[in-house]
Amino acid sequence: MTEQLRLMAVHAHPDDESSKGAATMAKYVSEGVDVLVATCTGGERGSILNPKLQGDAYIETNIREVRAKEMEEARQILGVRQAWLGFVDSGLPEGDPLPPLPDGCFALEDVDEAAGALVKLIREFKPHVVTTYDENGGYPHPDHIMTHKISVVAFDAAGDPERYPDAGEPWQPQKLYYNQGFNRPRTLALHEALLARGMESPYGEWLERWKEFQRPERTLTTHVPCADFYPVRDRALIAHATQIDPEGGWFKVPMPIQQEVWPTEEYELVRSHVETSIPEDDLFAGIRKN
């Protein structure tokens, strides 16, 4: 293609873009791809997960503004553009029985109405490829599941002139992917590599939980080589200071081991309007040659 390639990554909260597919985005930016992160909510109901910042009255009172500043720093590190869809964080309900979701939150929006905001952004940005979460949300946070729902509706509707007629000129993205970076083969490979080197693994409990869930394995259609950009990913993650403990589990595996043992990020291709061959090593496979 002579036209600049464009990638849109749809995420639920600020920080999700840095933990899911961030190295892929940084790689494509380095190749001249125009990358836009669409962030559905402001993360205003998120907990402060960094123990060093817990109890900070300013952060607790101004969490939305703080997380927006963190997002801007991460955006600059990754080299991407970013847009807010403007929905309100639903929070993660806990308890048995689960409490109801708060009024006005993202997860309680009408799916078709909420998808309209994303359709408008797709028609403005004109991405060739869109990434989002699978039907489980990657994990069952109500905002992640809602992100999946509106992304699928918007992907299918954006090119249809009869749908959302007030949202701009139709544009049909060519491919839709689900992020599958937290997959069992990757986790097991890193776990075994650490044990083989006589090191402690942070993944033992994860692997046990996978057995409990008994979910079928996802189809990993696309492995994007991006190990050189893992340090960029980690810097973007650390920029979300309220959400990430720099001494926590995210960073327990030494960088050289990550880059050697598992040098790719994984995706599941779920829609394609171009011909491609599986497995892929490029989200733009089938588009670059057209």
Per-residue pLDDT of 63-83, as tens digits, reads 999 999 999 999 999 999 999
For the entire predicted model, the pTM comes to: 0.95
- Residue 205: predicted pLDDT: 86
Q: Confirm whether 50 is domain-assigned.
A: yes
16 is in an annotated binding site: yes
**pLDDT of 1 over the 80 cut:** no
Q: Over 70: is that where the pLDDT of 214 sits? A: no
- State the CATH number of the domain containing residue 48: 3.40.50.10320
Structure confidence at residue 58 as a pLDDT band (50, 70, 90): very high
Instruction: Count structural domains, the chain.
Output: 1
Note whether residue 227 is domain-resident: yes
Q: How many CB atoms lie within 10 A of CB 200?
A: 8
Residue 14 lies in a domain: yes
- Domain membership of residue 246 (yes or no) is yes
pLDDT reported for residue 209: 82
Domain membership flag for residue 197: no
Using pLDDT thresholds of 50, 70 and 90, give the confidence band for residue 290. Answer: low
Check the annotation: does 11 bind a ligand.
no
Q: Is residue 204 part of a domain?
A: no
- Asked if residue 46 lies in contact with residue 243, where contact means CB atoms within 8 angstroms, the answer is yes
191 marked as part of a ligand binding site: no
145 pLDDT more than 70: yes
The boundaries of the domain holding residue 25 are: 6-183+218-272
Owner of token pair 């033992």 = 204
**Mean pLDDT, range 154-174, rounded to an integer:** 98
Name every residue whose Cβ is closer than 8 Å to that of residue 290 and which is 6 or more positions away in sequence: 1, 274
Q: Among 245, 248, 251, 249, which Cα is nearest to 231's?
A: 251
- The string of DSSP letters for 130-172 reads EEE--TT-SS--HHHHHHHHHHHHHHHHTT-TTSSTTS-S---
CA-closest candidate to residue 257, choices 211, 206, 189:
189
| Residue 281 domain-assigned (yes or no) | no
Answer yes or no: is 149 within a domain: yes
